[in-house]
Structure 1
Amino acid sequence: MKNPLDQFAIKKIIPLELFGYDISFTNASLMMVLGTLGLIAFQAIALRRRTLIPQRLQAFYEVIYDFTSGLLKDTAGEEAMRYFPLIFSLFTFVLLGNMMGMVPYSFTFTSHIIVTFSLALLVFIFVTMVGLLRHGWHFFRLFFPEGIPIGVAPILIPIEIITYFMRPVTLGIRLCANMLAGHVLLKMFAAFTISLGIAGVFPLAFNVLFTAFEFFVAFLQAYIFAILTCVYLNDALHLH
């Protein structure tokens, strides 16, 4: 693999076609299925024997649960807790996808825009539905907050509308671009280190540090995806 982009290639595992559309089961599909099954298994095992004084796996699960719960409460308020399952699922799915991509010879499905944009579009549609169901037509006051001079409406309203509909685009691109760029750099630095031979000892030390940093980025991007979802949910619940 001399090309650092080869690691993102989609490869068919089970070729399938439906009404002329390619719906093959690919390496990306496999990793997403494994990630989903892994999350379900982790939750089932961690909570199988719940105790007042948690064991290690239960304690780890509770840390993730409390972290996500606190994130949602602090950002969108107590009433947003009814939507906790969505935030928790998104955070853990993106986090696991990012971390699985750090395993050598695996596949990072969060580096593909079709995956990240689909997740972002899901968030966008859900948040918009919450806002409309809660506020009705008053939801559109989001594009023109109360107290703003009517004279700026021709400028402010188009800007707010464009900003709102760009949310799924920016949310999806941010996650995809960060994971893509990080893995490309890791591959390039690794290839450069190998090409140096014995002189690559010092660059190797840098690669180790950069890999640790990439693990941090993997967590950070899952956190950013979750907190932005909470911010959008807060807008839908409370407007301005």
Structure 2
Amino acid sequence: MAEEAHGGGIQIHPMDQFVVKPLFGGDTVHWYTPTNVTLWMAITVLVITLLLVVGSRGRAIIPTRGQSLAELAYGFVYKMVEDVAGRDGLKYFPYILTLFMFIVFSNLLGLLPMAFTTTSHIAVTAVLALAVFVTVTAIGFIKNGPKFLELFWVKSAPLPLRPVLAVIEIISYFVRPVSHSIRLGGNMMAGHAVMKVFAGFAGVAVVAPFSILALVAMYGLELLVAVVQAYVFTILTCVYLRDALHPSH
């Protein structure tokens, strides 16, 4: 966490925890190299499978804790999709549920000691955001055809302002995957970096009690952020899906 510098001070390296490392030695990372990122992504998928498939396969009238958690997640996301995207959006519910479960468990598993938070890397969140962007854009054109372009034409505005607003709408539309990915990745990276700093100062006798208290508080906050960021990513996906299904202003 912290190490003594040559000058007698303490050096803390909060960003070291985000370094991508090959699992089987070496320093070179190719596209096919198993790394700590791919390991924890696989663990995340395994945990989700155990919860949603194994944990709920009994379908007991009095559910177990695993089945209750699976049903709670299912109902929560289903209600979100129905309320935001409408009944038409429910056919895309499995995709949105998969997104939510992957992000929330990636965030939560990243809080375990010695774990790796895959959603702290923009490379991961950018792929998720681009997948959403391409998917909803394709749905918009497939379902509405050229009428999907009405999303950028604000009919309720005065006619002279509509071209200006159209340019603003187009820019904001193509910025969506950028903000969608940076919001999630930035929040996870910042929180973990702050926790690493507090943990580093825990080895300094003078400030150790305060550092530990701050670390405990920050850990609790990060638990909340892990769930909230998964919720924000998912509900924005529902909003984008609603725009694709019903593009008219």
Q: TM-score range by the shorter chain?
A: over 0.9
Shift in Å at residue 209 of structure 1?
A: 1.4
Query: What is the match of residue 44 of structure 2?
Result: 35
CA RMSD of aligned residues (A): 1.8
Counterpart of 2:22 in structure 1 is: 12
Runs of 4+ in 1 over 3 A off after TM superposition: none
Q: Which residue of 2 aligns with 1:203?
A: 211
Match of 1:128 among 134, 137, 145: 137
The corresponding residue for 2:246 is 238
Pick from 199, 223, 228 the counterpart of residue 236 of structure 2.
Answer: 228
Structure ranking higher in helix proportion: 1
Residue 112 of structure 1, aligned match among 103, 115, 121: 121
CA offsets 1:115-174 (integer angstroms, 9 cap, x no match): 000000000000001111111000001001323322113311111111000000000000
- Decide whether the 8 Å contact of 2:81 with 2:89 is kept in 1: yes
Cα shift at 1:203? 3.0
Contact 1:8 1:107 (8 Å CA) reproduced:
yes
Task: For 1:134 and 1:145, locate their aligned partners in 2 and report how far apart those are by CA, in whole Å.
Answer: 20
Alignment: residue pair count: 236
Partner of 1:71: 80
Does structure 2 retain, via aligned residues, the 8 Å contact 1:15–1:25? no
Q: Which amino acid aligns with 2:222?
A: E
> Counterparts of 1:146 and 1:50 in 2: how far apart (Å)?
50
Deviation at 1:235, TM superposition (A): 0.7
| TM-score, reference length from structure 1 | 0.93
CA drift of 1:15 comes to 7.9
> What does 1:132-211 align with in structure 2 at a 5 Å threshold?
132-195=141-204, 197=205, 199-211=207-219
Unaligned runs of 5+ in 2: 2-11
Distance 2:24 2:82 in 1: 43
After superposition, what is the alpha-carbon deviation per residue over 1:183-222, rounded to whole angstroms, capped at 9, x for unaligned? 0000111112322x16522331222111111110011100
Equivalent AA in structure 2 for residue 101 of structure 1: G
Counterpart of 2:94 in structure 1 is: 85
TM norm structure 2: 0.90
CA distance in 1, matches of 2:155, 2:245: 16
Q: Structure 1, residues 4-45: CA drift from partner, whole Å, max 9, x if none? A: 1000000012589xxxx6431111011111111221122122
Q: Separation in 2 of the partners of 1:79 and 1:158?
A: 28
Q: CA distance change for structure 1 residues 11 and 77 in 2, over 3 Å: closer, same or farther?
A: same
Give the superposition deviation at 1:84.
0.5
Once the two structures are TM-superposed, the CA of residue 49 in structure 1 deviates from its matched residue by: 0.8
Question: 1:226 corresponds to which letter in structure 2?
Answer: T
* 8 Å contact kept, 2:201–2:207: no
